[in-house]
Every structure is written in C-alpha cells, then in structure tokens.
C-alpha cells in the first residue's frame, strides 16, 4: 500500500463527508474505487503522484478485463477524476492524470418497470398486523413518491405533512426535496402510525426516529427494506429483472407516460442532471412506438 496515497485518500473521504455531505453509500463507492486504483499502483510499483497516460489507460483496460459494466467503469473514472481534481485544488499535485479521460460511451440500458397490476398484487399480499401494514406503507410510499430505498429508511415522522399529503426527503449530497403522497398512501400511513407508536422502542423519541421500524422497534436499515421488498418481488414471480430500485423506475416512467414534464420528474426524483432523468423518456418512446404500430394502418 502506498502510504502517501493512503493519507490523501483518507483526507479526501473525510472531505466528502464534511464538505460535500455525501451519503454513506457514496462514500463506500469512492473508497472502493480508490482502493482499486491503489492496488493497481502497488502491482505496477507506481506512486499515486506520477501515473502517466499509458498507466491510466492500462488501469482502465484492467477494469474492462474484469468484465465490469460500462456504468461501473465510468463510475471509477469519475471517482478518480474527482479525487485528483481535489489534489490539484489543494496544491497536493500539479496535474490531474485523469482530466482528459473520457467516459466509455454505450447505449444506456432502459430499466425494467412494474405494471400497476404487479404493484397491486404485492400490496394485496400484505397482512393486517403490524409487519404487514408496515410493508404496505413501504410499497405505497416507494411507488407514490419515487424516493430511493435509502431515503425512505432515513425518513422521520416529523418529515411528514399528511394534511398536505407531502413528505420531506433528504437526498444525495444533503439536498432536500418535497415528494407527494397519493390519497391511498396517506391513509395507509395514518393507519400505520398508531401501530408504529405502540411498537416503537421506548428508549427513543417518536418524532425523530425513522418512520419505518424493524421488528425490534428501531429504525429500519436500507438493507432491511430491500429484504422486505425482495420477498414480495419473488412472491409475484415476475419474469423480468426487478429490484427495489425498480419502484423508482416505475414511478418516473408512469409520470412521463401520463404527461408529466421531464423537468418536473427530475425535481421529484432529486436528480442533479437532466441526463439522468432522460433514460425514462426512452421507455415512454418505446410505448408510443407500440401504440403507433398497433393503431396506424401502415404501422405494421
């Protein structure tokens, strides 16, 4: 391990926490990417302050040979580009060796989405005890708001405004945004809150703990929510790639297919870049193509 690199790596990760206010998941990703590069430097007997263009190309080639996806390779490139940008900004180095490295281009995969019937099937599978009603609230909130699983895990009771059917979400980079609840979702949350209060671990305040509790009465983790969602996804037996994040894809796609503007959807999803939201327009375009082929006399 390069000791100098290790020092600057740790300082950079602390900077991302203290200044950039990035989430734990983002910090883990940065740490992983920097450690991959550290391993490469060790194997090539290089210092972090002098990799040349040839070394950088060799590193990226190694990533490709590991069968990483284009998006994963691009994330590593972005992580290292930002790390070296930090080093230049704070006079640690004079040159960013990744400044001229471009992201790998490729066709962006259109995400799978759930149908209304598939979501309805999952909701109908829930029981009417505490765990079942809590699960129903999880399903309803994810589809109603489009928030990330990590954002739902972080949501507090005080973040809810059930009269206005709104919730405050703390997103990536410490950016907050308001999301909206359907009437049915708000009703499920109101049914859940008294059960939650009785189930809550009495050692913590009701208002500042997580809205969603685990069976021990403590705030649930992102992993805990994913475990619950996976159970319902498996139960309906869908023949496509579905993950907890699919609820977010479905939320965005349904909004766009029903006339919402892309800027509005971007704001509701908390995307910093419109290009991230644009992938969902392709889903809508594919749907329009199907309608065209079915309806136009020469469409077939």
CA-based Rg of the chain, rounded to a whole angstrom?
A: 23
Are the CB atoms for 145 and 220 separated by under 8 Å? no
Query: Which listed residue (20, 156, 172, 177) is catalytic?
Result: 172
Report the candidate in 231, 227, 241 with the shortest Cα–Cα distance to residue 114. Answer: 241
In the residue annotation, 183 being an active-site residue is answered as no
The three-point CA angle 145-168-242 to 5° equals 30
Q: Is there a catalytic annotation at residue 263?
A: no
Q: How crowded is residue 216: how many other Cβ atoms within 10 Å of its Cβ?
A: 9
Report the largest interatomic distance among the alpha carbons of the chain, rounded to a whole angstrom.
69
Q: Catalytic pick from 134, 148, 196, 249?
A: 148
Other CB atoms within 10 Å distance of the CB of residue 6: 14
Question: What whole-number distance in Å separates Cα of residue 36 and Cα of residue 285?
Answer: 38
Enumerate the β-bridge partners of residue 156.
210
Q: Contacts by 116-121 with C-beta closer than 8 Å and gap 24+? A: 116/254, 118/236, 118/238, 119/143, 119/247, 119/250, 121/236
282 catalytic residue (yes or no): no
Q: Is 148 a known active-site residue?
A: yes
| Strands (DSSP E) found in the chain | 160-161, 166-170, 176-180
If you ran DSSP here, which 8-state letter would residue 127 be given?
A: -
Choosing from 8, 9, 136, 248, the catalytic residue is 248
Closest CA to 244 of 176, 143, 161: 143
Determine whether 172 is an active site residue: yes
User: What amino acid positions are annotated as catalytic residues?
Assistant: 148, 172, 245, 248, 271, 280
């Amino acid at each position: 391990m390069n000791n100098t690199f290790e020092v600057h790596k740790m300082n950079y990760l602390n900077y991302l926490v203290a200044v950039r206010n990035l989430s734990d998941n983002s910090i883990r990703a940065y740490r992983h990417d920097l450690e991959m590069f550290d391993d490469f430097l060790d194997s090539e007997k290089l210092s972090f302050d002098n990799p040349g263009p040839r070394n950088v190309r060799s590193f990226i080639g190694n990533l490709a040979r590991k069968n990483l996806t284009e998006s994963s390779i691009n994330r590593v490139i972005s992580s290292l580009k930002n790390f070296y940008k930090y080093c230049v900004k704070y006079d640690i180095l004079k040159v960013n060796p990744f400044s001229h490295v471009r992201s790998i281009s490729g066709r962006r995969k259109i995400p799978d989405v759930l149908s209304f019937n598939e979501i309805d099937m999952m909701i109908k599978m829930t029981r009417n005890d505490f765990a079942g009603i809590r699960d129903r609230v999880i399903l309803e909130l994810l589809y109603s708001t489009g928030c990330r699983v990590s954002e739902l895990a972080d949501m507090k009771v005080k973040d809810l405004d059930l009269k206005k059917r709104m919730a405050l979400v703390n997103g990536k980079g410490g950016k907050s945004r308001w999301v909206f609840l359907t009437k049915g979702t708000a009703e499920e949350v109101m049914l859940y809150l008294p059960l939650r209060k009785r189930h809550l671990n009495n050692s913590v305040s009701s208002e500042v703990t997580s809205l969603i509790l685990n069976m021990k009465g403590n705030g649930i983790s992102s992993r805990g929510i994913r475990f619950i969602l996976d159970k319902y996804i498996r139960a309906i037996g869908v023949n496509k790639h579905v993950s907890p994040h699919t609820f977010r894809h479905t939320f965005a796609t349904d909004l766009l297919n029903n006339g919402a503007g892309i800027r509005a959807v971007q704001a509701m999803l908390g995307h910093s870049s419109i290009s991230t939201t644009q992938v969902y327009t392709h889903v809508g375009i594919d749907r329009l193509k199907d309608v065209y082929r079915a309806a136009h006399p020469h469409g077939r």
